[in-house]
Each structure stands twice: as structure tokens, then as C-alpha cells.
Amino acid sequence: MRFFIDSADVKEIRAANDMGCVDGVTTNPSLLAKTGRPMKEAILEICSIVDGPISAECVTLTADEMIAEGQGLAAWHKNIVVKIPMGVEGMKAVKALTAKGIKTNVTLCFSPNQALLAAKAGATYISPFVGRLDDIGQDGLKMVREICQIYKNYGYATQVLVASVRNPIHLLESALMGAHVATLPLSVIQQLAQHPLTDSGIKKFLADWEKVPKAK
Ligand code: G3P
């Protein structure tokens, strides 16, 4: 399973990258706004840190605008993946950008049917938002399970990129379903390393080490 970090903050990206678990990065306008930096400056620095797919999101609404914007974003760096919001205009843009050899990540997916549409349009990645569906009392992981099953049934090449991941259970269940990628906040990546028995085990080993005679 590939891990992307869901952040536009280069400090967070470097911290996760140093752990050796980062295969790519996803950004969105909200994450960029938190950095207070111009988009291009932040994205290019991210590209210099991580050698993998870096999602940069379109902020226009019509297909023609998204196609032009997407081509512009893709020209920034070879690793840019153009993030396109789900919708009729978005699907037209995905079809056109795919035909030009530009990779796309369809974002704001909240149903298996939306994911099916994105695969048919030729999207490189589909981003089902698990946490936001849970937030409104629906089952985000059930959506991911159904998308994985549908893509498997028909052999679609579109990769399932699980997004809006809020906790390690979201990740574990997505991995068990065989989702290709998960994009994770730094806090969730750090949580993955934690276990109380690991902490108490280290404490005990260090305490016992004090009792081991040291060579003179
Ligand atoms: O990158 C998109 C997605 O991961 C956002 O997550 O936590 O804002 O729902 P969240």
C-alpha cells in the first residue's frame, strides 16, 4: 500500500518523509491556505522534497477552465497530478487531460457511482472522502469497500486513494480492502507507530540494561 501525506506544510512533509513512509503528497486549497504561502511556491518546494505523485487542485468550475488550469499545473513539475472535483464538468476535464497524458485525481468523491464515473472518464486516482461521510452519519469505509469491489469486478486501472482519513482504523480497514493508496495527515502517520506495550517494553528494557554489568 502506498502512503501519501495529506498536507501542504513542508515541515510536516519533511517529518513524514524522514520516517521513510511517504510515496506522494496530496494538497487542497484548504491545506494551502493554512500555510499562508503562494500555491506554486509551496507545490514546487514539496516536489523538491518528495519524488512521487504530488496532487495540486484546480479551483475553476467549467471543463474548459479546468483543462487550461490543469495543463498549467502539470507544466510546473513532472510529478504533478491534477486534482479535479467530481461532477459533470470535472469528468469532461478528466477525459481531456487524460487524453493529453496528464495524470488526474478526482476529489470530493462520496459514492461508489461517482467513483465508477471517474474510472470510466480515465482518472488516474479516485479520492473517496471517508471521514467527511462518517461526519454526516454515513459509512465512509463501506463506500471504499464498494469502490474496491467495483473496480476489481471490471478491472479498472483507476487507483483508489483513500482520503479524509481521520484515524488508524480508517487506514487499517482500507488496507484490508486492498485500496491502492491512503493519504494521511501527519498525526495519523505518527499514531501508526504507537502502542502502549511498545512504550512500556522500551522502558523495561532500558531499566534492565542498567542492571547489566558494563565492561571495564
Ligand atoms: O485531501 C482531501 C481530504 O483528505 C480532506 O480531509 O479531513 O479535510 O476531510 P478532511
Tens of pLDDT, residues 7-60: 999 999 999 999 999 999 999 999 999 999 999 999 999 999 999 999 999 999
Residue 35 lies in a domain: yes
Domain range enclosing 8:
2-209
Residue 21 lies in a domain: yes
Residue 45 lies in a domain: yes
Residue 26 lies in a domain: yes
The tens digit of pLDDT for each residue in 111-128 reads 999 999 999 999 999 999
CA distance linking residue 115 with residue 46, whole number of Å = 27
Torsion sign over Cα 59, 61, 64, 65: negative
User: By C-alpha distance, which of 86, 95, 177, 97 is closest to 127?
Assistant: 86
Residue 104 lies in a domain: yes
The Å distance, Cα 115 to ligand 1 centre, comes to 17
CA distance linking residue 122 with residue 137, whole number of Å = 30
Average pLDDT, integer, range 52-80: 98
Tell me which residues have their CB closer than 6 angstroms to ligand 1.
Answer: 6, 26, 28, 129, 131-132, 163-164, 183
Q: How many percent of the chain have pLDDT more than 70? A: 100
Instruction: Give the active site residue among 78, 83, 142, 214.
Output: 83
The Å distance, Cα 52 to ligand 1 centre, comes to 19
CB 17 within 8 Å of CB 26: no
Residue 143 lies in a domain: yes
Locate the ligand 1 atom nearest the alpha carbon of residue 183 and give its number. Answer: 4
Q: Is the pLDDT of residue 86 over 90?
A: yes
Strand partners, 107: 85
Report the number of distinct structural domains present in the chain. 1
Average pLDDT, integer, range 164-184: 98
**pLDDT bucket at 177, cuts 50 / 70 / 90:** very high
Beta-carbon contacts of 154 under 8 Å, excluding residues fewer than 6 positions away, are: 119
The tens digit of pLDDT for each residue in 143-162 reads 999 999 999 999 999 999 99
Q: Is the pLDDT of residue 216 over 90?
A: no
Beta-carbon contacts of 9 under 8 Å, excluding residues fewer than 6 positions away, are: 31, 34, 35
Beta strands per DSSP E along the chain: 2-6, 24-26, 54-57, 80-85, 104-109, 125-128, 159-162, 181-184
Nearest residue (CA) to ligand 1, atom 5: 164
Residue 214 lies in a domain: no
Look up residue 80 and give its three cell numbers.
Answer: 504533478
Residue 216 lies in a domain: no
CA distance linking residue 6 with residue 182, whole number of Å = 9
The CATH number of residue 52's host domain is 3.20.20.70
CB 4 within 8 Å of CB 26: yes
**pLDDT bucket at 189, cuts 50 / 70 / 90:** very high
Strand partners, 129: 163
Mean residue pLDDT of the chain comes to: 98
